[in-house]
Structure 1
Amino acid sequence: MHHAPLFSGYGKEVSPAFLDDGRRITTRFAGLTLSTVFQPLFRRDGQAPPAHEALLRVVEPDGSPLAPLEAFARLNRLGHAVAFDRLCRLLHVLNFVRQSDGDGSLFLNVNGAHVLGLIAGEHGSFIGTLLTRHGLDPARVVLEIVEDRIDDLARLEAAVRGYRRRGLRIAIDDFGARHSNFDRLWMLNPDVVKLDRTLIVQATANPQARRVLPRLIEIIHELGAEVVCEGIETAEQHAIALDAGADLLQGFLLASPTDRLQRIGPV
């Protein structure tokens, strides 16, 4: 177990230590045990996945699981939103670099509180240093931002510019949920748009939603972005996503999250 030099200065109560058991790297933060699992994203042909999304798993001191959103909310209340978000990305990068063969992309989630918690000009500074230190090409990293949870559009746009200056790609996550709108897509010009899973669920039950889905994807393609249909859990949803023109697909039907990168397509 060792302390991470990138995380000096946060105080003993949140100073992270990493444990390497030879299979995966875990860490502890404010009493919580954190680990990484990866869920692959598949192209339409279903061959070996070109990308994996890193997902957080959190365990309480008593061994019970804690939902990541609840963990982020707790650490935000304690004033550690930025430190916690950075630590999670460091953990995910360490686990990805250990397994990666030099190919494939890594999708990393960025918490909205982190975006709003940084001062102007800081966005991308930590992740840039992190990727350089661990030899990961920024072009292989896609930062997922849930844009409709961020009300300060100027700060959001500045964050995207900062990440892009460092060579990172940008994905808008959960598009189509709550208050997502095309104005933000035109403003942010993302590389990838991940459709909220409610859209594919609605398309299985509502013929009108099924007819609209290909048009939605076509508009996003015209903006120059790739489209991910996530939350694919049934063969019918898979067929609808393919028919609608999705570029990438993700969901439990294709592969569950595991602590290992998946090398082959779904059987």
Structure 2
Amino acid sequence: MPRQVCGRTRPGQSRYCVLTRTNDLQALLSCLKQEGSVTTAHEGGHILKSAFQPIYSLSHCRAVGHEALLRATDAEHKPVPPPEYFATATSSEDRVWIDNLTGLLHMANFAANRPARQWLFLNTLPETMLKLTSEATPRHLAEALDRFNLPASTVVLEVLESAFQDAGELTAAVERAREIGFLIALDDFGAGHSNFDRVWQLRPDIVKLDRSLVARAAANTRERRVVMQMVSLLHECGALVLMEGVETVDEALLALEADVDMVQGYHFCRPQPLPETGGPALQKLSELHQLLLNTALRQRQQQKARIAAYYNAIGHGAFTLSQGHTLEEACQSFLSLPQAEVCYLLDDHGFQVGTHVLPPQYSSPDVLGYEPLNDCTGATWARRPYFRRAMQAIGQVQVTRPYRTIHGNRICVTVSMAFRRMVDGQEQIQVLCGDLLENEDSALA
């Protein structure tokens, strides 16, 4: 049995436990204490409590899980931030001890007030995950789950961001957790060491986007587009995506726009002592979907009005070419517009016909830095969306999403149209394209 000291620091103070470096289940359970409807833990002069923040499915418009968070106070009942409490650990063994104790505490409180059809998200240190490869730990975990009547499939282990050196050992531990039945979430994605390398290595069931990434994307159009593509790529990697730290309506709209699966944050609900079963967040989710529909409609109307002249000009240029005029004559209308950057013609295989046609007033402060890319004679653009879409819908103008132009450090949009024309007595399909500079504050679909 481990050495255990229980008592009071002075009259009137709370009971606490101090144990030697062991993770025996009974030793850990001895630090738990039932206080009314909740369980607390008393360890090292600190009182530990659980708090639960709901995690909502945007599609289901209801809570599907709760992240368990630690709330600690000292012997004087003063709040102790979790990082400060974990800093009291003087060794890796101590950190694992605290991590296991808080995990049991959260299991006890979640099980006693467990909502139907919901996950328990538990933050887990990499050092704790490694213990899953030992012989004793899986048995202790099974005993703990049985004690609280929690199937392993209801628990999501969040692997915390850390510069862990032995990636292979951590991967093996994650696989062992999967064998037991746990789901795996990669926390703090987009910050520190949690990146796509970790996604490919650990194959998480859920990826949680870091709060800092969410805040930047909500405030910056370019980063917003990057996050939306990031979510799509994570889905293709086989992970569900959870956006955490959602605190404003704009950030909530970003989550819907980016097609994330789940959200978590103060905008919906703050952490609370017991798991959430309803509340105002459900109404907020319903209103959010309607707000997105209204916002998308307004953006489409603004986009249509802003791009109409370029849209019409590229269609007119294609018609002009089909009537036997030169490329320069066909592009004149498009290139007279204020944001027009360049026009070019492709054959039916995506190869460029001739050179770019530039507007007479064309100037760019950074064009010299991209001079090696200026001559596009014979270049092939067959893989680009503006060519592929145009070839799939001959006679209809297509508009791309914003992307980086090769003509400088700027973002552009391409409008294109495939059409038929006679060349040397034979009918050919060609694609007329025009690039226009994109306003960073706009959002073309």
What is the aligned partner in structure 2 of residue 132 from structure 1? 146
Alpha-carbon displacement from aligned partner over 1:42-78 (angstroms, at most 9, x marks no partner) = 1114633010011000111111111112211212448
Does the Cα contact within 8 Å between 1:20 and 1:26 map onto a contact in 2? yes
Q: Residue 176 of structure 1 aligns with which residue?
A: 190
TM-score (norm 1): 0.90
- Distance in 2, matches of 1:71 and 1:149, equals 21
Change (3 A) 1:66 1:78: farther
Preserved contact between residue 86 and residue 126 of structure 1 (Cα < 8 Å): no
Amino acid at match of 1:137: P
Aligned pairs (5 A) from 1:163-242:
163-242=177-256
| Structure 1: gaps of 5 or more residues | 1-7
**Of 28-37 and 181-190, the range deviating more from structure 2:** 181-190
Superposed displacement of residue 145, structure 1: 0.5
Tell me the equivalent position of 1:264: 278
Q: Work out whether 1:9 is the aligned partner of 2:9.
A: no
Q: How does 1:104-143 map to 2 (within 5 A)?
A: 104-115=118-129, 118=131, 120-122=133-135, 124-143=138-157
Aligned-partner Cα distance in 1 for 2:128–2:272: 26
8 Å Cα contact 2:133/2:176 also seen in 1: no
Q: 2:260 maps to which residue?
A: 246
State the SS of the aligned residue for 2:88: helix
For 2:201 and 2:55, the matched residues in 1 are separated by: 26
**CA spacing shift, 1:178–1:172, aligned 2, 3 Å:** same
Match of residue 5 from structure 1:
none
User: Which one has more relative contact order, counting CA pairs under 8 Å at least 6 apart?
Assistant: 1
| Distance of aligned partners of 1:110 and 1:231 in 2 relative to their CA distance in 1, 3 Å threshold | same
Q: Secondary structure at the match of 1:232?
A: coil
Q: Deviations over 1:8-52 (max 9, x none)?
A: 536432264333222211110111100001000011146330100
Gaps of 5+ in 2: 6-17, 20-26, 284-445
The question of 1:81 aligning with 2:114 is answered no
1:39 aligns with 2:53: yes
Secondary structure at the counterpart of residue 63 of structure 2: coil
Inter-partner Cα distance in structure 2 for 1:119 and 1:139 = 16
Opposite residue 166 of structure 2, the aligned amino acid is D
Q: Which entry has the higher C-alpha Rg, 1 or 2? A: 2
**Normalized against structure 2, the TM-score is what?**
0.55
Map of 2:371 onto structure 1: none
Paired residues, what number? Answer: 259
CA contact (8 A) 1:53 1:106 kept: yes
> SS of 1:74's equivalent?
coil
- For the residue of structure 2 that corresponds to 1:261, the secondary structure is coil
Structure-2 change in CA distance of 1:81 and 1:177 (3 Å): same
**AA aligned opposite 2:134:** G
**Matched letter for residue 24 of structure 1:** V
Same amino acid, percent of matched pairs: 36
* Structure 2 counterpart SS, 1:256: coil
The whole-number CA distance in structure 1 between the counterparts of 2:158 and 2:92 is: 24
RMSD of equivalent CA atoms = 1.9
Q: CA–CA distance in 2 between the matches of 1:197 and 1:23? A: 32
Shift of 1:205: 1.9
Q: Are the counterparts in 1 of residues 53 and 69 from structure 2 also a CA contact under 8 Å?
A: yes
- Which of 62, 75, 80 is 1:66 aligned to? 80
In structure 1, C-alpha distance between the alignment counterparts of 2:85 and 2:3, rounded to whole Å? 18
User: In the superposition, relative to structure 1, how do residues 104 and 63 fare at CA in structure 2: closer, same or farther (>3 Å)?
Assistant: same
